[in-house]
């Protein structure tokens, strides 16, 4: 397949995704990188990732911190979260992401509200104050509203798959894991005024090339201002791994991860696209390769190391250490230090 033959309709996307041709992939990534520079600019924006807790009420079949998996649980104290946010501010990251297992208990909801206000009050010496993205799963609409009013302005909630049947195969079949409820949560976030991001895992068992093309078309249909998608990586003790279900090789999942970023950049030129941590777990400088394929956001991990190693979503995740991330970004890629790097698409 030649890049000049690429069309961005469903058939064209399916063909591009299915193609296993290194020369085509390279052309595609280069075209996406040119589009990124022409639309959202050269800069990469950083968000300090704070993994607030690995306690989760849910049981997604692929996840290494699912409720039923035996692992040591933790919850960062307020001080630990604030120190991590201050560390991100000192490194001029401009924004933080607070991510964690899904919890809907009142104490946790209050804690997040309290922390949002405290993070907003951190004197970074820069204007604006730290921007805040949340990624804390499905919540009642009033909770999303409360957190928005407390200072969160972006929310990442992956739909995990655009195909409801595939969604049902990788989640328990019960009301807590409902595709419809997850979709409604994304719509609620949009309506409240968040920059709502979504995404899906790439290379998960049972996923087809058509599913991946439909994932891209769903992001376009939902008109989301940001997407965070990344390769699926197995966790040795997850039900999905233990079931023996097959999935693409690590190399293929990595290549597919980059290809999905590149195609999305061509499909939605002015949105924010994150280079996910799971790329880094599969390849050294995997996130930089994501940037060179059209992504424009990286989320360096600022969680205290002792807790970060317990946020063990998948194989090799905890090997991703970010002390020296700056060094792995090529000199000719400028970083948007101290800026929120909001989605241009959202502003428009």
Measured from the CB atom, the residue of 159 and 335 that comes closer to ligand SAM is 159
3-state secondary structure 150-216: HCCCEEECCCECCCHHHHHHCCCCCHHHCHHHHHHHHHHHHHHCCEEEECEEECCCCCCHHHHHHHH
Question: HSE (CB half, 13 Å, CA atoms) of 41?
Answer: 12
For ligand SAM, the binding residue among 86, 124, 135, 163 (CB under 6 A) is 135
DSSP per-residue letters across 89-139: HHTT--EEEEEE-----HHHHHHHHHHHHHHHT---SSSS--EEEEE----
Measured from the CB atom, the residue of 38 and 57 that comes closer to ligand SF4 is 57
Are residues 298 and 44 in contact, defined by beta-carbon separation less than 8 angstroms? yes
Site string for ligand SAM, 236-275 (x = CB under 6 A): ----------------------------------------
CA 41, CA 331: separation in Å to the nearest integer? Answer: 16
Cis peptide bond N-terminal to 73, omega within 30: no
Residue 101 binding ligand SF4, by CB under 6 A: yes
Selection from ligand SF4, ligand SAM, none that 66 binds (CB < 5 to 8 A by kind) is ligand SF4
Residue carrying structure tokens 């989301």: 224
For ligand SF4, the binding residue among 29, 36, 47, 58 (CB under 6 A) is 58
Phi/psi for 93 (5° steps) reads -70, -25
Selection from ligand SF4, ligand SAM, none that 135 binds (CB < 5 to 8 A by kind) is ligand SAM
CA 125, CA 177: separation in Å to the nearest integer? Answer: 43
CB of 156 to ligand SAM, least distance (A): 7
For ligand SF4, the binding residue among 102, 146, 237, 270 (CB under 6 A) is 102
Please calculate the CA angle 29-34-36 and round it to the nearest 5 degrees: 90
Residue 186 binding ligand SF4, by CB under 6 A: no
How many residues of this chain interact with ligand SAM, rule: CB under 6 A?
Answer: 18
Distances (CA, A) of 335 to 44, 92, 272, 322: 5, 10, 14, 15
CA 189, CA 13: separation in Å to the nearest integer? Answer: 28
Question: CB 25: neighbour CB atoms within 10 A?
Answer: 20
Residues 157-176 that bind ligand SAM (CB under 6 A): 157-158, 160
Please calculate the CA angle 288-294-300 and round it to the nearest 5 degrees: 40
Measured from the CB atom, the residue of 47 and 182 that comes closer to ligand SF4 is 182
Are residues 95 and 46 in contact, defined by beta-carbon separation less than 8 angstroms? yes
Question: HSE (CB half, 13 Å, CA atoms) of 227?
Answer: 36
Q: Which stretch binds ligand SAM (CB under 6 A): 104-112, 114-122, 141-149, 229-237?
A: 229-237
CB of 64 to ligand SF4, least distance (A): 8
For ligand SAM, the binding residue among 33, 45, 62, 254 (CB under 6 A) is 62
Residue 201 binding ligand SAM, by CB under 6 A: yes
Residue 65 binding ligand SF4, by CB under 6 A: yes
For ligand SAM, the binding residue among 313, 320, 325, 335 (CB under 6 A) is 313
Measured from the CB atom, the residue of 13 and 159 that comes closer to ligand SAM is 159
Residue 52 binding ligand SF4, by CB under 6 A: no
CB of 105 to ligand SF4, least distance (A): 14
**Binding-site ranges for ligand SF4 (CB under 6 A):** 56, 58, 60, 63, 65-66, 101-102, 137
Which residues contact ligand SAM (rule: CB under 6 A)? 56, 62-63, 99, 101-102, 135, 137, 157-158, 160, 201, 232-233, 235, 278, 313-314
């Amino acid at each position: 397949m030649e890049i000049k033959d690429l069309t961005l309709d469903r058939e064209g996307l399916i063909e591009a995704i299915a193609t296993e041709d290194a020369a085509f992939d390279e052309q595609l990534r280069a075209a996406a990188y040119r589009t990124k520079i022409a639309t959202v600019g050269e800069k990469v924006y950083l968000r300090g990732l704070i993994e607030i807790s690995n306690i989760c009420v849910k049981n997604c079949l692929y996840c290494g911190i699912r409720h039923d998996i035996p692992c040591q649980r933790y919850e960062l104290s307020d001080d630990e979260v604030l120190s991590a946010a201050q560390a991100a501010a000192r490194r001029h990251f401009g924004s933080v992401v607070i991510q964690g297992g899904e919890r809907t208990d009142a104490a946790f909801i209050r804690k997040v509200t309290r922390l949002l206000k405290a993070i907003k009050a951190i004197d970074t010496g820069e204007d604006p104050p730290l921007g805040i993205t949340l990624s804390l799963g499905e919540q009642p609409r009033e909770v999303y509203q409360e957190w928005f009013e407390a200072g969160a302005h972006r929310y990442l909630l992956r739909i995990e798959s655009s195909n409801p049947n595939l969604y049902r195969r990788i989640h328990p079949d019960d009301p807590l894991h409902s595709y419809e409820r997850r979709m409604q949560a994304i719509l609620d976030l949009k309506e409240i005024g968040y920059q709502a991001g979504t995404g899906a895992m790439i290379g998960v068992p049972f996923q087809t090339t058509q599913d991946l093309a439909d994932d891209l078309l769903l992001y376009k249909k939902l008109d989301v201002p940001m997407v965070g998608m990344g390769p699926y990586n197995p966790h040795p003790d997850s039900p999905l791994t233990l079931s023996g279900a097959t999935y693409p090789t690590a190399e293929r999942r990595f290549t597919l991860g980059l290809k999905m970023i590149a195609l999305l950049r061509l499909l939605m030129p002015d949105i924010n696209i994150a280079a996910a941590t799971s790329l880094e777990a599969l390849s050294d400088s995997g996130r930089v390769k994501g940037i060179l394929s059209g992504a424009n956001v990286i989320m360096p991990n600022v969680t205290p190391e002792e807790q970060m190693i317990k946020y063990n979503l998948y194989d090799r995740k905890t090997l991703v250490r970010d002390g020296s991330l700056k060094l792995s970004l090529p000199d000719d890629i400028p970083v948007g230090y101290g800026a929120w790097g909001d989605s241009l698409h959202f502003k428009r």
